[in-house]
Amino acid sequence: MYTEKVMDHFTNPRNVGEIENANGVGEVGNASCGDIMRIYLLVEDNIIKDIKFKTFGCGAAIATSSMVTEMVKGRTLAEALEVTNKAIAEALGGLPPVKMHCSNLAADALKRAIEDYQAGQAS
Amino acid sequence: MIELRKVYLDHSATTPVRPEVAELVREYMTRCFGNPSSVHSFGREAKAGLTKAREQAAGAIGAHTEEIIFTSGGTEADNLALRGAAYAYANKGKHLITSAVEHHAVLDTCKELEKEGYSLTVLPVDEYGLIRMNDLRRAITPETILISVMHVNNEVGTIEPIEEIGALAKERGILFHTDAVQSLGKIPIDVKKMNIDLLSASGHKIYGPKGTGFLYAKRGIKLHPLVFGGGQERKLRPGTENLPGIVGLGLAAALAVREMDMETARLQKLRDYMIKEILEKINDVQLNGHPDIRVSSNVNISFKYVEGESLLLSLDMKGIAASSGSACTSGSLDPSHVLTAMGICHEVAHGSVRMTLGHDNTEEDIKYVLEALPPIVDRLRAMSPLYQQNRKECAGCTLKK
Ligand SMILES: Cc1ncc(COP(=O)(O)O)c(C=O)c1O
Ligand code: FES
């Protein structure tokens, strides 16, 4: 049911955990099945220096979380905001149709975390 | 490379066909291939096989041979029982009673009948998945024609009080159907003693072929057929019989009942050992279903803060096959209706894993599972944003939709 890439990211997820001095945190719950993902960002000079995640969810949710962190680490915030859930799914070699919603979780959590960072900067 | 150990713990989903059953099925596909309706020797030989299978099926539940209708499985047996009786007795009343924890083959059929103009009461269950007799008594109206409550629940293994239900139904003159798909061969069944009017059984849960099953319908009970054609199965299930499947089902049922006492005792020991060890070794877990009023093969445990599908995937990588009531595994993305009906919150249902034991499982297998499980749970919990947040257990069930 899952591609090798998905299984790889599920088995050896990249960037799991928390960042103690994070300056952006985003948490989203999945309306479809009730899962939760949290992303921690450390942003310096508009660049994502470090990113970590924690996810409570299915194999696809964990794999997309892992993948999104890999895709945006070292990127500018503007670049990170362009990452869509479709792009994440594609980077994983595709997801089963019933699991597409799980990739929304990752994209949304990232967006929230960036918004949280930007709100912190504005104040 | 050493081969990965394989441990199949999903016997409530399906079972492997026993070699002696497979052998017989093959014989009835190749050598005894006749049509039981034919007059010649090929037909007579086939007919003899059909008759024997009917005796075996009837014998397994204390029924008469003419009370057995072979079907394509448990689902069809449930449909024929419910719709067949509902249509045949519509002139007597149009109220049906069932329980919230039934298999979809019963629940969805009842809901379909509701759309067709029948009224339906779905009995709630307690925290263990048991219906309460008082709820049932209160639900009965002069219009009630049928009560359908399963014998053993397929997800949590809870054994419903079917003997009491049978007695009550008899006293009130209401038909009683039970889905015995998960109890046949595991718990003694005597349809006469238990006052069961209609009973569904399935072959592939008892080491028989898939796509086989039967409905027991007590003598004198009228059923409306769901399909029309030839005169087979007293016109209640027309069409040339799936003879290879039927003889396989018959033998599987006979063997299951013959070996029941020994196998039940063996599995119960394994089950209790497994439950005890998991509850002791891993924190924040809970047993789903009743601790004692439980079928010998079922272990259902919720590992809090972990999602079931990711647990299943991890177990599968260790060669261990199980299933889950998690929303993420359901296709519909809803958590198990059984766990929900038992009042188990979304968060805990999410982390539920069902492991169902069977013939091939040994103590070694269970030890292997008990060793594999804790590191898997630890790994997933370390990834979970829900773990170690000092949140109160199920605080407000944050995960509710
Ligand atoms: C309680 C119960 N009823 C009915 C069925 C359906 O049986 P079958 O697969 O033979 O149609 C099952 C099997 O999943 C079951 O567990
Ligand atoms: S997170 Fe629930 S289905 Fe993927």
Per-residue pLDDT of chain B (401 residues; tens, 9 = 90+): 567 899 999 999 999 999 999 999 999 999 999 999 999 999 999 999 999 999 999 999 999 999 999 999 999 999 999 999 999 999 999 999 999 999 999 999 999 999 999 999 999 999 999 999 999 999 999 999 999 999 999 999 999 999 999 999 999 999 999 999 999 999 999 999 999 999 999 999 999 999 999 999 999 999 999 999 999 999 999 999 999 999 999 999 999 999 999 999 999 999 999 999 999 999 999 999 999 999 999 999 999 999 999 999 999 999 999 999 888 888 778 889 999 999 998 889 999 999 999 999 999 999 999 999 999 999 999 999 988 754 444 444 544 43
Residue after which a domain boundary falls, among B204, B233, B258: B258
Please tell me the distance in Å from A56's CA to the nearest CA on chain B: 5
B209 shares its domain with B235 = yes
**pLDDT for res B1:** 59
B99 shares its domain with B238 = yes
Does the residue B22 lie in any domain?
Answer: no
Does the residue B111 lie in any domain?
Answer: yes
- Residue A35 sits at the chain B interface (C-beta within 8 Å): yes
From the CA of B177, the nearest ligand is 1
What is the number of the ligand 2 atom nearest to the C-alpha of B329? 3
Domain interval for residue B196: 32-258
DSSP-based three-state secondary structure for B324:
strand
In chain B, residues 42-61 whose CB comes closer than 8 Å to chain A: none
Provide the domain count of chain B.
2
Q: Estimate to the nearest angstrom the gap between the alpha carbon of B182 and the chain centroid.
A: 3
- Residue B386 sits at the chain A interface (C-beta within 8 Å): yes
How does pLDDT run across A12-53, given as a tens digit for each residue?
Answer: 999 999 999 999 999 998 767 778 999 999 999 999 999 999
pTM comes to: 0.94
DSSP-based three-state secondary structure for B5:
coil
B268 shares its domain with B245 = no
**pLDDT for res B394:** 47
Cβ-based burial of B4 (10 A; exposed 0-12, middle 13-18, buried ≥19): exposed
Q: Name residue B98's amino acid.
A: T
B104 shares its domain with B239 = yes
On chain A, the residues whose CB falls within 8 A of the CB of B346 are: 34
Please tell me the distance in Å from B234's CA to the nearest CA on chain A: 43
B87 shares its domain with B232 = yes
Question: Are residues B399 and A11, on separate chains, in Cβ contact within 8 Å?
Answer: no
Does the residue B20 lie in any domain?
Answer: no
DSSP-based three-state secondary structure for B96:
strand
Nearest CA to ligand 1 atom 7: B74
First-to-final CA distance of chain B: 46
B271 shares its domain with B142 = no
Residue pairs spanning A and B at CB distance below 8 A = 70
**pLDDT for res B329:** 85
DSSP state of B145: E
B144 shares its domain with B197 = yes
**CB of residue B74 inside a 6 A radius of ligand 1:** yes
Give strand pairing partners of B178.
B199
Q: Which CATH number fits domain A4-122: 2.30.40.10, 2.40.50.140, 3.40.190.10, 3.90.1010.10?
A: 3.90.1010.10
Does the residue B218 lie in any domain?
Answer: yes
What is the number of the ligand 2 atom nearest to the C-alpha of A34? 2
B269 shares its domain with B253 = no
B163 shares its domain with B293 = no
In chain B, the residue whose alpha carbon lies closest to the alpha carbon of A32 is B333
B215 within 8 A of B181, measured Cβ to Cβ:
no
On chain A, the residues whose CB falls within 8 A of the CB of B331 are: 98
DSSP A18-73: --TT-SEEEEEE-TTT--EEEEEEEEETTEEEEEEEEEES-HHHHHHHHHHHHHHT
Residue after which a domain boundary falls, among B258, B276, B301: B258
- ipTM for this prediction: 0.93
> Alpha helix locations (H) across B62-152?
74-88, 104-115, 133-139
Does the residue B26 lie in any domain?
Answer: no
On chain B, the residues whose CB falls within 8 A of the CB of A55 are: 383-385
Any idea what the CATH number is for the domain that residue B240 is in? 3.40.640.10
Nearest CA to ligand 1 atom 16: B154
Any idea what the CATH number is for the domain that residue B365 is in? 3.90.1150.10
Does the residue B146 lie in any domain?
Answer: yes
Q: What percent of chain A has pLDDT over 70?
A: 98
Residue B62 CA to residue B59 CA, distance in Å, equals 5
**CB of residue B73 inside a 6 A radius of ligand 1:** yes
User: Catalytic residue numbers of A?
Assistant: 33, 102
Q: Which residues contact B363 (CB under 8 A, 6 or more apart)?
A: B270, B273
How does pLDDT run across A51-110, given as a tens digit for each residue?
Answer: 999 999 999 999 999 999 999 999 999 999 999 999 999 999 999 998 998 988 899 999
B51 shares its domain with B182 = yes
In chain B, the residue whose alpha carbon lies closest to the alpha carbon of A13 is B383
Residue after which a domain boundary falls, among B258, B282, B312: B258
